[in-house]
Structure 1
Amino acid sequence: MELRQLNYFVEVARLENFTRAAERLKIAQPALSQQIRNLEQELGVKLFKRIGRGVTLTEPGEQFYIGAEKTLAEAQRAKDSVKEFTNDPHGKIMIGALESLVQTRLPSLLVAFGKEYPGIKVFIRENTTEPLLEDLQKGELDLALGHTLDVTYSPNLVRVVAQTGICSKPLYQDELVLVVAKGHPLEKRKTISIGELREESFVFFKEGSGIRSQLLAACISEGFDPLIAYECASPRTLVAKGLGVSILPRLMAESPGPTVSILPLDPPLSRWVSVFYVEGRYLSPCTKVFLRFVEKYLGSEIEG
């Protein structure tokens, strides 16, 4: 049994698909399938069972997966322990981040991080929270910067979190505000409640967004289903054109961009932005450095 075979096995298990695992590993699919067959023959058990076009772990496969991940983590930890003698962390990490973070706080954070740790290259994958957590579960991300989802309206999140032991550390709390177009009848209000928006057309964030989930829950608690006129990654642009109202993080609403009017919500709504990781999965030294930096930087930014 070789580390290479364990790595192949873990990738197939995470992605539940031989084709995508082969693409990630940059090997031919027949070669990957043969390596898995060799591993199964050596162990004397079937590790995968086919479901449609994908695969899932058998019961022996699930047990073997736990040990395989630990073995690969220990091997990587041994490599990294040698690198740490240089006291100059270097490498690359893949971080998932909310679109609102990419538009507001993340650029300055990355500039500051790059100055302090020039040897670490940070790659960013932008998306809403739910798909970011799915990518984290698959091992495509080292960390994810997202926010709490209401599992009542994100049933897929229950499966993702339950199966992988995804954990989080809260970073800061974002105030959510209503944004409307200039000249909108609500523009001169000092505050607004969710219940008063039952007749409004909404511009929602797309599926998988925590704000979408939170707003949907708030509307339903007020006894109505919101009228969703549009779904997009940047609701503010459509709101500015008078195509509906939206709920955004205050910092996102106040950042440079299309002109809108901002109204505080009463009672207020807020969201927690957190950093997510998989419990028990090995974090490289570069990932640990970035995690500590994010906690310190965002915490001091909010306090300041």
Structure 2
Amino acid sequence: MSKLALHHFETLLWIARLGTFRAAAERLNTTQPAISARVREIETQLGTALFRREGRGVVLTARGRQLVQDCEPLLAGFERVLLEASGYAGATGVVRIGAGEIAAATCLPAFVAEAKRDLPGVTLDVTLELTARMLQNLFAGTLDLVFLAGPVADPALRLVPLGGVKLVWLASPAVVAAGGFGRPLTVWSLGQQSPLHRVMRRSLERQDLSWRSIDHCSNVQTIIQIVAAGTGAALLPETMARRAMAEGALVEVLEPPAEGIEFQAAVRADEGDPLVLDLFERASRHRIG
């Protein structure tokens, strides 16, 4: 066994999690040929195949599944001991974080500032996505930690609440002066799978309002600009629309809904990387709004 090192087992675990040699190479900041070479070294040393090709990906053999099951807690424990011994000051690696636009405009900057102050050797790769897409990427292993608009409930996730935001119905002063929802308006919202869109539809239905159309944009700040220009109305997070309201560019056009949007930080329930778990614990101390 002297030919095998920790990086061999780390490679094995990431291929098992992500499903392809290419994805594991990206996660470990190396090349696909290097990953293939490590797998060959493990299989040669053990005298058995650990993966079989299936389509464009790979799946573990029975022996490979057993090896992953046995090694994963050992590797996680070893990494945790080293990180705790150094107070995490020497931590390195890339952690991929997903966040919605509302989280990115509220709690994410303070979280990132704390992480970079305490973990200077860690690279943070932040992607802005809608909740549905973030969940797909988290389960696929291409994201490690996410800030979700929810609520989300899934036994495959470890979740912590981050608080919520109040929502307000806004339009330009000209639209309100012309009668607001007294005539059919264009309503702007995020995509249909977003929690904001679902609250918006429920609010319209409860007030028995008519509208010309529901148009979509993937960016809240752009929706704010569109509505401020006099094109319809939108249900918006008060925290993000506060400046436009203070400047008089947007005013309330309807009573706000009683429900807001709650946020959560999430990792996979089986996440064993001590660095990801440390960042998850740090995320729990930050609040939306």
Offset, 1:108: 4.8
Which among 96, 106, 109 is matched to residue 107 of structure 1?
109
Any stretches of 5+ residues in structure 1 without a counterpart?
Answer: 152-160
Any stretches of 5+ residues in structure 2 without a counterpart?
Answer: none
How many angstroms apart in 1 are the aligned matches of 2:202 and 2:40?
47
Give the 5 Å matches for 1:36-55: 36-40=39-43, 42=46, 44-51=48-55, 53-55=56-58
Question: Which digits, 9 at most, give the CA deviation of each residue in 1:110-162, with x for residues without a partner?
Answer: 55x37xx83324734332223333443455544322121679xxxxxxxxx56
Residue of structure 2 in register with 1:261 after alignment? 251
Change (3 A) 1:71 1:245: farther
Q: Which of structures 1 and 2 has the bigger CA Rg? A: 2
TM-score by length of 2: 0.73
Residue 8 (1) aligns with residue 11 (2) = yes
How many angstroms apart in 2 are the aligned matches of 1:225 and 1:13?
49
Aligned length: 275
Residue of structure 2 in register with 1:243 after alignment? 231
Offset, 1:179: 2.3
Residue of structure 2 in register with 1:118 after alignment? 117
Is this contact kept in 1: 2:167–2:237, CA < 8 A?
A: yes
Offset, 1:281: 1.8
Offset, 1:167: 1.8
Which among 22, 25, 28 is matched to residue 25 of structure 2?
22
Amino acid at match of 1:103: A
How many angstroms apart in 2 are the aligned matches of 1:62 and 1:125?
31
Offset, 1:7: 1.7
% same residue = 20
Change (3 A) 1:63 1:34: same
Residue 274 (1) aligns with residue 264 (2) = yes
Question: Which digits, 9 at most, give the CA deviation of each residue in 1:244-282, with x for residues without a partner?
Answer: 332222111214588222356465221111111222423
Offset, 1:233: 1.3
Change (3 A) 1:184 1:56: farther
Query: The residue matched to 1:243 in structure 2 has which SS?
Result: coil
Which among 295, 300, 304 is matched to residue 284 of structure 2?
295
Give the 5 Å matches for 1:179-198: 179-185=170-176
Is this contact kept in 2: 1:91–1:119, CA < 8 A?
A: no
How many angstroms apart in 1 are the aligned matches of 2:63 and 2:19?
16
Change (3 A) 1:141 1:126: same
How many angstroms apart in 2 are the aligned matches of 1:238 and 1:148?
25
Offset, 1:76: 0.8
Is this contact kept in 1: 2:173–2:250, CA < 8 A?
A: yes
How many angstroms apart in 2 are the aligned matches of 1:226 and 1:294?
41
Query: The residue matched to 1:80 in structure 2 has which SS?
Result: helix
Is this contact kept in 1: 2:76–2:274, CA < 8 A?
A: no
How many angstroms apart in 2 are the aligned matches of 1:10 and 1:276?
21
How many angstroms apart in 2 are the aligned matches of 1:19 and 1:262?
50
How many angstroms apart in 2 are the aligned matches of 1:132 and 1:297?
19
Query: The residue matched to 1:184 in structure 2 has which SS?
Result: helix
Is this contact kept in 2: 1:150–1:214, CA < 8 A?
A: no
Which among 146, 160, 181 is matched to residue 144 of structure 1?
146
Is this contact kept in 2: 1:5–1:36, CA < 8 A?
A: yes
